[in-house]
Structure 1
Amino acid sequence: MDANKIKSADILDILFDGRNKEYGAYDLRKTYNKRIRYSIIGMITLCALLFVGSIIANNAPKEKKAEVVVDMELAKVDEAKKPEPPPPPPPPKQEPPKVEMAKFTPPKIVKDEEVKPEEEIKEVEKLEDTKIGTINQEGAKDEGIVAPPPEKGTGVVEAPKVEEDYDKVFTVVQIPASFPGGASAWIKYLERNLNRDVPNDNGAPPGKYTVIVSFIVSKTGAISDVVAENDPGYGTKAEAIRAIQKGPAWTPAVQNGRNVIYRHKQSITFQVSED
Structure 2
Amino acid sequence: MAKDVDLSSKEWRDLIFEGKNKDFGAYKLRQGSESRHNKAFFYVLIGLVAVCLLIFGYMKYEAYKTQKAEEEAKAKLEQQQKLAQMEAEKEEEKEEEVEQIEIEEVKPEAPQLATQLMTELLLTDTPKEDNEIKANEDIQKDNSVMSTFTQAGSDDINLIKEHKEEVVQEKPREEKKKEEVFTHVEQMPKFPGGDAELYKFISNNLNYPAMAIENNVQGRVVVQFVVTKDGSIGNVKVVRSVDRDLDNEAIRVCKKLPKFIPGKQNGQPVNVWYTLPVTFKLQN
Higher RCO (C-alpha under 8 Å, 6+ residues apart): 1
Structure 1 length-normalised TM:
0.38
Higher Cα Rg, which structure:
1
Between Structure 1 and Structure 2, the one with more helix by share is 2
Structure 2 length-normalised TM:
0.37
